[in-house]
Structure 1
Amino acid sequence: MTVWDLVARLGRRWYVLVAGVLLTGLALVVVLSVTPTYFAHVHVVFVPPASSEQNILVRPTDSLVNLAGVVARSVQSGGSAQPVSAEVTLLGEGETEGFLVRQPNRGGQWQYEFVEPVIDVQAVGATPDEAMASLDRALAEIDAATTELQDAQGVPESARVVTTLNPSTPQLESQSGSRVRAVTATVLIGVILTLSAAGLGGAVPRRLGAKSSARGA
């Protein structure tokens, strides 16, 4: 089958070609309309007071690590996103909204080891403002939970644990994948499906195979 034979067959099945072009165009519109997801991330570090004598929550030293864990569990129970494994982010889990608060686990899957008074805070949203708003809500709840625990123990202001952010400014990034790859794959799939629907899916490979056989002979 020559190139002109292919063109002639496509001409006889023009309706398949038109349908394929329209469907491929629709698929491209969907691909190009996908909006990125924004991911905000920061660590909350618990800082002990200069003197812990009046704060039972941070005696002994490892109690500060325990305090971070209690606060993380308290806040996450009200988050819209569910906890994920220590190696996976909310973005990696495909979440598009909400926040995640967890204490970093330095151990394995079956044996937890919490060694730092730190809380990992992540948030996602459809826009930068949404992601940062979710992050700010998580940070506010962490501060509120920390204050509530110390209020319950009657800890004076001078002996209270405070929190700080690391880095000082939360990190914000977007994730939308490669549009070039998505468009290329969509067009390629559209062409293949259109040719197959027109009954030409194997015409070109068979022609090339015939030429290869002729040269081998």
Structure 2
Amino acid sequence: MTTAECLIVLRRRWYLALGGLVVTAFLTFLLVGRPGVYTSRVDVALVAPRSAEQVTDTTLVDQSESLIATAGLVERLVNANTETSAATSQEVSLASTGVRDGTLVKLPNSGGQWDYNFTAPMLSVQVVGPDADEVLVHRESAVRDIKRELRRIQVGTDPDQRITTQEIPVQAPVTYVTGHVSRVVVGGLLTGGLLTLALTILIDHRLTLRRQRRVHARASASVA
């Protein structure tokens, strides 16, 4: 269907288009007025054991890769009973994905969803929720889970050989964030406008077919 044909349909079914635009504007207004959420992030870095401090340049890379592998194992253990999404860029925050209440423990991926590149032995803990105190509680709980699983996989290891953790920052803040109003408005109006156009064309097509069938039936009855 050409642009001119779409305009003709919209003109003929202007009441449908107007109704769709009113609904779109109302829903967009509700989205803009939706309250924000509280969020907090802390990175739990895995620190090599003290016995590994005296390393040479040739073993430094292997040690880093070993720590990254351990971080990946801890991530899987912590998320064993949790459904998680595919790894995405580490620049994408949990709140920006639309989650309003949840916890995410991930090994940061400096690549992309289809190009994994894990370069740091640390686990990112992100928490989103409607209440600041609850966010803090869930964040601390996730950090404890990480430390517990790390201790569990090192049972029987000499204390000097154990990997430890360090939280970055030590006191992670809890912040209140809201969505980007301009993006919400543009996205809502664009989506609503396209849906309105599609529904208007669909309804017009069905009404036109119904009218044609009635005309054909009357013509057939007249001939008979």
Q: Could you say which TM-score interval applies, normalised by the shorter chain?
A: 0.5 to 0.7
Among 173, 176, 179, the alignment partner of 1:174 is 176
Q: Is the 8 A contact 2:88 2:112 kept in 1?
A: no
Change (3 A) 1:96 1:80: farther
- Specify the code of the residue in structure 2 equivalent to 1:50: R
Indicate the residue corresponding to 1:140 in structure 2: 144
Shift of 1:31: 7.6
Indicate the residue corresponding to 1:45 in structure 2: 45
- Specify the code of the residue in structure 1 equivalent to 2:40: A
Indicate the residue corresponding to 2:166 in structure 1: 164
Shift of 1:165: 0.7
Indicate the residue corresponding to 2:71 in structure 1: 68
Indicate the residue corresponding to 1:130 in structure 2: 134
* Structure 2 residue matching 1:92: 3-state secondary structure: helix
- Distance in 2 between the 1:174 and 1:85 partners? 23
Change (3 A) 1:33 1:129: farther
- Specify the code of the residue in structure 2 equivalent to 1:37: V
Shift of 1:34: 4.0
Change (3 A) 1:67 1:34: same
Q: Is the 8 A contact 1:80 1:98 kept in 2?
A: no
Of all paired residues, the percent bearing the same amino acid is 30
Q: Is the 8 A contact 2:87 2:113 kept in 1?
A: no
C-alpha deviations, 1:104-124, integer Å up to 9, x for none?
A: 112343332212111111001
* Structure 2 residue matching 1:168: 3-state secondary structure: coil
- Distance in 2 between the 1:107 and 1:172 partners? 27
C-alpha deviations, 1:105-161, integer Å up to 9, x for none?
A: 12343332212111111001111011111111110110011001101xx21222211
Among 84, 106, 110, the alignment partner of 2:110 is 106
> How many residue pairs align between the two structures?
153
C-alpha deviations, 1:47-83, integer Å up to 9, x for none?
A: 1111149xxxx99412111001111122123347645
* Structure 2 residue matching 1:170: 3-state secondary structure: coil
Q: Is the 8 A contact 2:86 2:113 kept in 1?
A: no
Change (3 A) 1:68 1:43: same
Q: Is the 8 A contact 1:81 1:97 kept in 2?
A: no
Indicate the residue corresponding to 1:36 in structure 2: 36
* Structure 1 residue matching 2:81: 3-state secondary structure: coil
- Distance in 1 between the 2:92 and 2:32 partners? 27
* Structure 2 residue matching 1:150: 3-state secondary structure: coil
TM-score by length of 2: 0.57
- Specify the code of the residue in structure 1 equivalent to 2:171: T
C-alpha deviations, 1:149-177, integer Å up to 9, x for none?
A: 101xx212222111011111113211234
* Structure 1 residue matching 2:170: 3-state secondary structure: strand
In structure 1, the gaps of 5 or more residues are: 1-25, 183-217
